[in-house]
Amino acid sequence: MTTGVWLVGGRGSVAVTSLIGALAMRAGLAGPTGCVTELPEFAGAALPALTDLVFGGHDVASVPLVKKAESLADAGIVPASLVRALDEELALAEHELRPVPSEGGQAEAAAQMAADLTAFRERHGLRRVVVVNVATTEPVVTPNPAHADLDALEAELSGGGAVLPPSSLAAYAAFQAGCSFVDFTPSTGARLPALDQLALQRAVPYAGHDGKTGETLVKSVLAPMFAMRNLRVRTWSGTNLLGGGDGANLAEPGPNAAKTASKQKVLQETLGYLPQGTTRIDYLEDLGDFKTAWDLVMFEGFLGRSMRMEFTWHGCDSALAAPLVLDLARLTSAAHEAGYSGALTELAFFFKDPLGAVPHGLADQWRMLCDFADGLRDAPGNAGEPK
Amino acid sequence: MTTGVWLVGGRGSVAVTSLIGALAMRAGLAGPTGCVTELPEFAGAALPALTDLVFGGHDVASVPLVKKAESLADAGIVPASLVRALDEELALAEHELRPVPSEGGQAEAAAQMAADLTAFRERHGLRRVVVVNVATTEPVVTPNPAHADLDALEAELSGGGAVLPPSSLAAYAAFQAGCSFVDFTPSTGARLPALDQLALQRAVPYAGHDGKTGETLVKSVLAPMFAMRNLRVRTWSGTNLLGGGDGANLAEPGPNAAKTASKQKVLQETLGYLPQGTTRIDYLEDLGDFKTAWDLVMFEGFLGRSMRMEFTWHGCDSALAAPLVLDLARLTSAAHEAGYSGALTELAFFFKDPLGAVPHGLADQWRMLCDFADGLRDAPGNAGEPK
Amino acid sequence: MTTGVWLVGGRGSVAVTSLIGALAMRAGLAGPTGCVTELPEFAGAALPALTDLVFGGHDVASVPLVKKAESLADAGIVPASLVRALDEELALAEHELRPVPSEGGQAEAAAQMAADLTAFRERHGLRRVVVVNVATTEPVVTPNPAHADLDALEAELSGGGAVLPPSSLAAYAAFQAGCSFVDFTPSTGARLPALDQLALQRAVPYAGHDGKTGETLVKSVLAPMFAMRNLRVRTWSGTNLLGGGDGANLAEPGPNAAKTASKQKVLQETLGYLPQGTTRIDYLEDLGDFKTAWDLVMFEGFLGRSMRMEFTWHGCDSALAAPLVLDLARLTSAAHEAGYSGALTELAFFFKDPLGAVPHGLADQWRMLCDFADGLRDAPGNAGEPK
Amino acid sequence: MTTGVWLVGGRGSVAVTSLIGALAMRAGLAGPTGCVTELPEFAGAALPALTDLVFGGHDVASVPLVKKAESLADAGIVPASLVRALDEELALAEHELRPVPSEGGQAEAAAQMAADLTAFRERHGLRRVVVVNVATTEPVVTPNPAHADLDALEAELSGGGAVLPPSSLAAYAAFQAGCSFVDFTPSTGARLPALDQLALQRAVPYAGHDGKTGETLVKSVLAPMFAMRNLRVRTWSGTNLLGGGDGANLAEPGPNAAKTASKQKVLQETLGYLPQGTTRIDYLEDLGDFKTAWDLVMFEGFLGRSMRMEFTWHGCDSALAAPLVLDLARLTSAAHEAGYSGALTELAFFFKDPLGAVPHGLADQWRMLCDFADGLRDAPGNAGEPK
């Protein structure tokens, strides 16, 4: 079951790390560490094999894939030996990348992107294509009445309006082309009522949003711990220092607000109240793709006794995100195959700000994900072999 | 349903903090922060009310309860205002404490302790008594053939043998007196085949062991997080600095070995392998009842990329343990009432080194505990009022 | 040599902690931990004895001293037993506090404050009075031409102008009354050319500014360490979480800017360049008078190898500041006695943002301070007894 | 003034990193970050230029230098590009390494080593050779009467005795050959009265011991900070996690005891008392040449208020040590030139456990070092050009 993975932001760090990893695993040069869907719980769940994924993508940038891969190796994100060994495969993958259409209005751009997707599917004889947004985080979007209703949106677009942020335009094009969609960033993407209507109309599923890769992942197990022990968290204060393109962008007030709001939800949802404290994001160019987060948690125990814990997280963002991109592509594609459409709330495990009224504690999300995999395994069409 | 709680080590910090807390809640002077069984999941589960608990205990020490309470207040473990307000109640509780029998052999001591328990039950007209061991941790016990079989044990004791460590003798006496038993420490307690036989014979349940209050609690949510994300933990190294009586004792090689072995199990069980690194316990008198733990976790992600996290935990051990003692007393007593006997594996949530082949991840243990509470709620005898 | 200490913000946490400490030491109830001037290096340096200090002050607030002292005890800043033992002394000290004049213009207010100082000096037969500003931090001041020249300032004030921030008005009044002045906060205080002229004219010294009590203190030894080892600091990023009145105020953009600028100077001055990174101040009401700072330092070593260190500081601000207030009062008063006037750059050791072109490394500042003490010891008038 | 640097343990990580660095600087491929003697304070101090150093050494191992250099690059200690660029220079340096003599008694071994040194000096026409011990740390040495007196030692050796640990035998050989000596490890080295006599007899200086590269360096600025502020340190507890050959060795009880004792001296010396707490060293193979140290400091401030700070240090040991090896070679050689002999106490700045009754605070050691450099600069023979 060869499956297409179309990466919006296909020349970015996360995309290229995903691509290198998939190519390396296909060549037997690397193991699946970090890939959730390679755990025993997902065996037989009718997922496309990691080695059956074919990659393409859009990007506004034009840095060659091989160059980008080398810069990832220089930065210590991927092994230099892998990049050298995959030289040819990367050069081939280059042919599947397309520029983001920049001429004409949003309607024309969407049509062009949908055409790119259709051509990709036909060129490779793919059964399914899943579009994954890993482009740079956008500022919080300005509300517009056309977001609330598909007819209004279509009218607006056909009238030459430019009412969608780029991530939502990508989702619109994906749905028009019959592709499923994954929002890996905090950008708006498919999260507009008009786009939800379109997904349901085209019977395609979408997942999101904002991949949970570091500080929030830790919060999603620590906050339930405090809740299960009936300990009252009074303060939870986090500082995130990050570099790289994403860091520079997130230091801008707009995207920063989007991201920090997304990062606080887990506390309200798992504790049932919001402790004091904020989540800061600071840009430090020198950190590159690495991120250091420090969190201070002050809590109250028996008879009011105050206690505290702190943690520091030193992660490599692209290395944490890339295997999840592969997981989400496999799961969303399988869901599409199994007939799911609209919001895939079952994939909350992967996201900081998951779709739907779902639990935010990691253990509950894990159970939900395993149940979802069980459902795929038991689906009528799953004969344990390519359909 | 008035229930007796008999504390072995009744003049120690954990015991007295539990007592102060129970008295304070009964007097309406404190809320139940830290008490797991006061969470909504346990409503209607036929537990004895916190305000229906009556306390007694054994101790080798003779410090008056009021003095001990004042020293806990001076150390910042409990509020001084509570100790002042509960002056009379503490003086009354003093009457329920008995010395540990020190004359004669172990058979005589056990008989005396069982008599103390029976007298306590009759004096207060208690339906159930649960014995909780919160005495100082013992060294690892020397194996003895009499531990493996109840008949052999009885023969040994009646022949004047002294083959049981104090914690096991306390469990023996509890079972003889028809009381349930909770091992809150890493000491041997009821964990001998001979004592398991006795518990089943007398149809009493027992729970244990080693209350999970700090570093191991955090490990029990972080280790599953790494496992669920298919991240490979290469190193997990912990340092525990603690003072107080327990710290001094745990710095001795014997008890230290017992405790650190208990603290590492969670990694093997939740990860499926044991990473490099050890768990250290160092005694620092100055820390008193407070504990600082620092853990370094180095893990490998996608394509071998190495990352790390660290956490520091600054907890007050008695304040963390005391509400769990109350929880365990309520749950064990209710299990006794509902007909459970032998090892109560369902209470793994509370322990570093739980009985039985049970999960070590906190979320799985939580689910098991909630199922247990549901079972109690649905038990035939639970009419929602005192039986 | 009885010396007067007049505290601007005399009912605040720092002031009252200083007062309690001085009274406790006089009563033999506490030792001088935290008092720099009690180290052997200052023996015989003609400082007024800690037991010879007499306290007064201005404050806009009216909370009684005893009440404030009790709230400091409740917050764990000072021992409750001390507050109880000093009940009478605190009641007496209450009589020496005066409201900040609020009627009339700045000229009238200054005259009233100077009259308060003179009356205090005469009432107690004091040889010297030193005014110490420990009031809440002000926003950065709006520049005004009258700040640059004493004549212009006098003209402005006598014309009814209100051109001075409160801290500078306090310094003006102090100088007019022939008192020395210490700026313990980042507020403007005496740091205006016009006020420097006045201090020289009246032959009084002044010191400042912004007491170095926590994160910056640590920076002032770590930054020189990196410099002395020729290690290149690439990033120094700090997060300060603090509560209390000062925290609430510093979270306001104005004072925050003043404080964070002050906190970064030590890096530029000791390293010779400014690394990436910022110093954040966040307000967390729950922390009360306690402060937690976390700093991440990334540095480059031999052949470009990147390394890092982190530190966390958990301090009690008033407990750190109070003994330095006593130190500064003693040293400034002795300098006044020894004939110093104008900016006392020799006291840089105590300040985040010291006066003059002085070293910012703590060790160099310490040497300068010890030299200053040696100078006082050797001064002609110092006969080793009260002059 | 071409100067020889003879490295005992010449194929180890520290030695090869020093060599790569010196070669890289000579080739203009790297700057002197981490080299103390390149700071302005040392300009004109008659030190041999970094580019004038010639390297040789002894080692029991036989791994080729180029292989070792590549393994250092793989481990991220030195840049791979440097190793590639210095391929030829490393191959040349290979010719200057000699095996440690293993046949015959200690007298024969010493004679052979001295001959190796003399041949090295003559082969390159070197004015001075300094021997630096960077071999693996030895266990604490067994005391022997022959250590106390040179005559007794000579008698013992000539009688076929083997009474010196390898590091001391290396020092003995160095002195016999008229070379100065630097103890960079905690091993015994020149620190025996008999060897001190020999050094004085031969008029050669020696320095040591145990290079101060990480946790102790930080302690040597933080401990004086607490002392200067009259804050009482109650507890100082450190955990060092390290891998590599040194880590494996230091985990052995013997060397571990030597190292941890060395690490605690700075506290006693700078504080004037020894706080509670220990310094742990744990071996974690996975850390390789990197070291993580965590220290907890609990201190008491004004009126007994307890506070704390923690720090974590993530360093690359060889990268921290290597430039100091170059510094010490330059300084010791210059001292030799200037007529110093015996213990060079002036170099305490570089050592955990410095020779002589010297200050342990870094700032005082720095001042002593700068005075020493000033002395070299002003020495009669220093004409600002090669002598």
| Cβ pair D256, D248 in contact under 8 A | no
| pLDDT tens series, chain A, 387 aa | 689 999 999 999 999 999 999 999 999 999 999 999 999 999 988 899 999 999 999 999 999 999 999 999 988 899 989 999 999 999 999 999 999 998 889 999 999 999 999 999 999 999 999 999 999 988 888 899 999 999 999 999 999 999 999 999 999 999 999 999 999 998 999 999 999 999 999 999 999 999 999 899 999 999 999 999 999 999 999 999 988 766 666 666 666 776 677 677 899 999 999 999 888 888 888 788 889 999 999 999 999 999 999 999 999 999 999 999 999 999 999 999 999 999 999 999 999 999 999 999 999 999 999 999 999 988 776 644 433
> Residue D100 is encoded by which pair of tokens?
């440690």
Question: What is the reported pLDDT for D246?
Answer: 63
- Using the Cβ of B313 and the Cβ atoms of chain A, whether some distance falls under 8 Å is answered with yes
> Chain B residue with minimal CA distance to C76?
B76
User: Can you say how many angstroms the Cα of residue A112 is from the centroid of all Cα atoms in its chain?
Assistant: 23
Q: Is residue B385 part of a domain?
A: no
Q: Is residue B387 part of a domain?
A: no
Q: Is residue B120 part of a domain?
A: yes
User: How confident is the model over C151-158, as a mean pLDDT?
Assistant: 96
Q: Which element (helix H / strand E) includes C311?
A: strand C306-316
Q: Is residue D384 part of a domain?
A: no
Find chain B residues with C-beta within 8 A of A300's C-beta. Answer: 33
Mind giving me the DSSP string for B142-153?
PP-GGGG-HHHH
> Chain A residue with minimal CA distance to B319?
A302
Rounded (10°) angle between helices D106-124 and D150-158: 100
Which residues partner with A56 through β-bridges? A6
CA angle C82, C87, C88 (to 5 degrees): 135
Neighbours of chain C (3+ CB pairs under 8 A): A, B, D
Residue in the block written with tokens 């410090």 = B63
Which residues are CB-contacts of A93 (< 8 A; sequence separation ≥ 6)? A19, A23, A55, A65
B72 and B33: one domain?
Answer: yes
Whole-angstrom distance, CA of residue D365 vs CA of residue D371: 10
Which of A124-145 are b and which e, b meaning 16 or more Cβ less than 10 Å from the residue's Cβ?
Answer: bebbbbbbbbbbbbbbbbeebe
Q: Is residue C12 part of a domain?
A: yes
Which residues partner with C314 through β-bridges? C292, D308
Last residue of a domain, one of C298, C316, C334: C316
Whole-angstrom distance, CA of residue C77 vs CA of residue C98: 25
Q: What backbone phi and psi angles, to 5 degrees, belong to A291?
A: -135, 135
A343 and A194: one domain?
Answer: yes
Whole-angstrom distance, CA of residue C12 vs CA of residue C19: 11
Whole-angstrom distance, CA of residue B187 vs CA of residue A1: 57
DSSP state for residue C61 in the 8-state scheme: -
D366 and D346: one domain?
Answer: yes
Question: What is the reported pLDDT for A365?
Answer: 96
Whole-angstrom distance, CA of residue B22 vs CA of residue D215: 46
Whole-angstrom distance, CA of residue B184 vs CA of residue B182: 6
**8 Å CB contact of C78 and D303:** yes
pLDDT digits (tens, 9 = 90+) for D337-353: 999 999 999 999 999 99
Question: What is the reported pLDDT for B385?
Answer: 40
C83 and C193: one domain?
Answer: yes
- Using the Cβ of B312 and the Cβ atoms of chain C, whether some distance falls under 8 Å is answered with yes
Using 50 as the pLDDT threshold, list the residues of chain D that sit under it. 383-387
DSSP state for residue C214 in the 8-state scheme: S
Whole-angstrom distance, CA of residue D323 vs CA of residue D333: 15
| Number of domains observed in the structure of chain B | 2
Question: What is the reported pLDDT for C386?
Answer: 38
DSSP state for residue B351 in the 8-state scheme: B
DSSP state for residue A229 in the 8-state scheme: T
Judged against a pLDDT cut of 50, whether residue C387 lies above it is answered with no
**8 Å CB contact of C312 and D307:** no
Question: Residue C381's pLDDT band (boundaries 50, 70, 90)?
Answer: low
Question: For residue A6, which of A119, A101, A82 has the smallest C-alpha distance?
Answer: A119
- Using the Cβ of B306 and the Cβ atoms of chain C, whether some distance falls under 8 Å is answered with no
CATH classification at residue D136: 3.40.50.720
- Using the Cβ of B178 and the Cβ atoms of chain A, whether some distance falls under 8 Å is answered with no
DSSP state for residue B60 in the 8-state scheme: S
Last residue of a domain, one of C273, C289, C316: C316
Question: What is the reported pLDDT for B199?
Answer: 98
| Closest CA–CA distance from residue B336 to any residue of chain A (Å) | 23
pLDDT digits (tens, 9 = 90+) for C254-313: 667 766 776 778 999 999 999 998 888 888 887 888 899 999 999 999 999 999 999 999
| Cβ pair A279, B12 in contact under 8 A | no
Question: What is the reported pLDDT for D95?
Answer: 96
Last residue of a domain, one of A298, A316, A334: A316
Residue in the block written with tokens 């600025």 = D221
Question: What is the reported pLDDT for A386?
Answer: 38
Rounded (10°) angle between helices D87-94 and D13-26: 130
| Cβ pair B221, B213 in contact under 8 A | no
| Cβ pair B47, B337 in contact under 8 A | no
Which of D113-135 are b and which e, b meaning 16 or more Cβ less than 10 Å from the residue's Cβ?
Answer: bbebbeebbeebebbbbbbbbbb
| Cβ pair B141, B188 in contact under 8 A | yes
Which residues are CB-contacts of A83 (< 8 A; sequence separation ≥ 6)? A20, A66, A69, A70, A72, A73, A90
Rounded (10°) angle between helices D65-74 and D13-26: 90
CA angle C108, C112, C115 (to 5 degrees): 140
| Closest CA–CA distance from residue C50 to any residue of chain B (Å) | 29
B178 and B107: one domain?
Answer: yes
> Residue B329 is encoded by which pair of tokens?
């007393």
CATH classification at residue D307: 3.30.360.10
> Chain C residue with minimal CA distance to D369?
C228
Upper half-sphere CA count for residue C67 (Cβ side, 13 Å): 5
A233 and A366: one domain?
Answer: no
Mutate: best of C234, C273, C276, C278, partner A, most A CBs <10 A: C276
C340 and C201: one domain?
Answer: yes
D170 and D29: one domain?
Answer: yes
| pLDDT tens series, chain B, 387 aa | 689 999 999 999 999 999 999 999 999 999 999 999 999 999 988 899 999 999 999 999 999 999 999 999 988 899 999 999 999 999 999 999 999 998 889 999 999 999 999 999 999 999 999 999 999 988 888 899 999 999 999 999 999 999 999 999 999 999 999 999 999 998 999 999 999 999 999 999 999 999 999 899 999 999 999 999 999 999 999 999 988 766 666 666 666 776 677 677 899 999 999 999 888 888 888 788 889 999 999 999 999 999 999 999 999 999 999 999 999 999 999 999 999 999 999 999 999 999 999 999 999 999 999 999 999 988 776 654 433
Q: Is residue C326 part of a domain?
A: yes
| Closest CA–CA distance from residue B292 to any residue of chain A (Å) | 9
Whole-angstrom distance, CA of residue C94 vs CA of residue C25: 19
- Burial class of C379 by CB neighbour count within 10 A (0 to 12, 13 to 18, 19+): middle
| Cβ pair C336, C316 in contact under 8 A | no
B206 and B58: one domain?
Answer: yes
Domain that holds residue D292: 215-316
A154 and A288: one domain?
Answer: no
Question: For residue A214, which of A206, A225, A222 has the smallest C-alpha distance?
Answer: A222
DSSP helix/strand/coil, C145: helix
Whole-angstrom distance, CA of residue B370 vs CA of residue B331: 11
DSSP helix/strand/coil, A62: coil
Indicate the pTM of the whole model. Answer: 0.92
A46 and A143: one domain?
Answer: yes
| Cβ pair C296, C240 in contact under 8 A | no
Find chain A residues with C-beta within 8 A of B33's C-beta. Answer: 230-232, 300-304
Question: What is the reported pLDDT for A316?
Answer: 94
> Chain B residue with minimal CA distance to D294?
B294
> Chain D residue with minimal CA distance to C308?
D314
Question: For residue A322, which of A25, A99, A123, A110 has the smallest C-alpha distance?
Answer: A25
Q: Is residue D382 part of a domain?
A: no
Q: Is residue A325 part of a domain?
A: yes
Whole-angstrom distance, CA of residue D143 vs CA of residue D127: 36
C185 and C299: one domain?
Answer: no
Question: For residue A51, which of A98, A2, A114 has the smallest C-alpha distance?
Answer: A2
- Using the Cβ of C312 and the Cβ atoms of chain B, whether some distance falls under 8 Å is answered with yes
Q: Would residue B208 be called left, alpha or beta, if left means φ above 0 and alpha means ψ between -120 and 50 degrees? A: left
User: How would you write C154-203 as a 3-class SS string?
Assistant: HHHHHCCCCCCCHHHHHHHHHHHCCCEEEECCCCCCCCCHHHHHHHHHHC
- Using the Cβ of B287 and the Cβ atoms of chain D, whether some distance falls under 8 Å is answered with yes
> Residue C362 is encoded by which pair of tokens?
């703590």
Find chain C residues with C-beta within 8 A of D222's C-beta. Answer: 218, 221-222
